A and B are shown apart, each in its own frame.
Chain A
Amino acid sequence: MTLVRIDNRLIHGQIIETWLPYTGAKNVVVANDELANDVLQQEIMSLAIPQTVRSYFVNVEHLAEEVVQLQAANDSSEVLVLFSSCPDAKRAFDSGFGFEVLNIGNVHYSPGRKQVSPSVALSDEDESCLRQLFRKGVELDFRCVPNDPVQVRF
């Protein structure tokens, strides 16, 4: 796995302009239940992805099996996985999608959330999801873009 990231905007400028070139990923997998059932929105999000990169939209709980199939079919382990929220990342982990490092890129602010970095504001539920993942050995990486300084906040 090249990168596993939480980003409430999923595929957008930062992914296309920085993370794709930085990781060299050839596949982007968006794990999001809403988008998995919205073909128009999938087309919109994929429109600006470079032609050498493939995009896939899957249900959070099917992510593990989808990624295995994808890697077998494409003969490539270079996969960038995107979740829109911390609970989705936790749900995927619990349903068998293992990862060692989790990048927390964008989690937007709303009242009741605690701002932990300029681009990340966590609710109590988010924090509990991240702590549980951390206790299971997942390293947490709070970088919005690749050249942000790596900071440990947990």
Chain B
Amino acid sequence: MAAKSDNKENSMVGVVLVTHGSFGETLLEAAKTVLGPQENCLAIGVDVNKGVDETMESIRSAIRSVETGKGVLALTDLFGGSPTTMSLSLMKSENLEVITGVNLPMVVATLQSRAMSLNKVAEKVKDAGQQGIKVAGAMLRKKGKK
């Protein structure tokens, strides 16, 4: 089935990973290993030894550089952590959604659903993150018993 062609092919939700240390960068690299090269996505590591204002500016400029007019999804690690808090503070000035608890299934889902609207991407990514967590060994054992 052919996908309906869209004139705004370049228009996609921008993606920024905002995490403690180099976690986001490594996660994005892993996602690119799975999916191949990706555009308009960046990872910002929050260095706790730097000031809050300086870090906020680097997050802001990352968001602006991946914005193509459809908004930006910020994937952060810990709910309540400073990468999340700083991202939330930028909702005032940017067209931004913030989703916490980032894992590889979430990054993969984000990069694959970026043609949708920002709200829809966020919903899809939340589901992908939750569904990506399985006690896979137990599933396998259960299957073996059947």
Contacts and interface: CB of A to CB of B under 8 A. Distances in A.
Contacts, number: 48
Contact of B78 (A11, A13, A41, A49): A13
A18 B37 CA distance: 38
B88 A44 contact: yes
B88 to A, nearest CB: 4
Contacts of B78: 13, 17
Contact of B80 (A12, A106, A119): A12
B53 to A, nearest CB: 10
A118 to B, nearest CB: 8
Interface in B55-94: 78-82, 84-85, 88-89, 92
Interface residues of A, number: 21
Interface residues of B, number: 16
Nearest to A109: B49
Contacts of B35: none
Interface string B32-60: 00000000000000001111100000000
B52 A9 contact: yes
B20 interface: yes
A47 B82 CA distance: 12
Interface of A: 8-9, 11-13, 16-17, 40-41, 44-45, 47-49, 106, 108-110, 118-119, 121
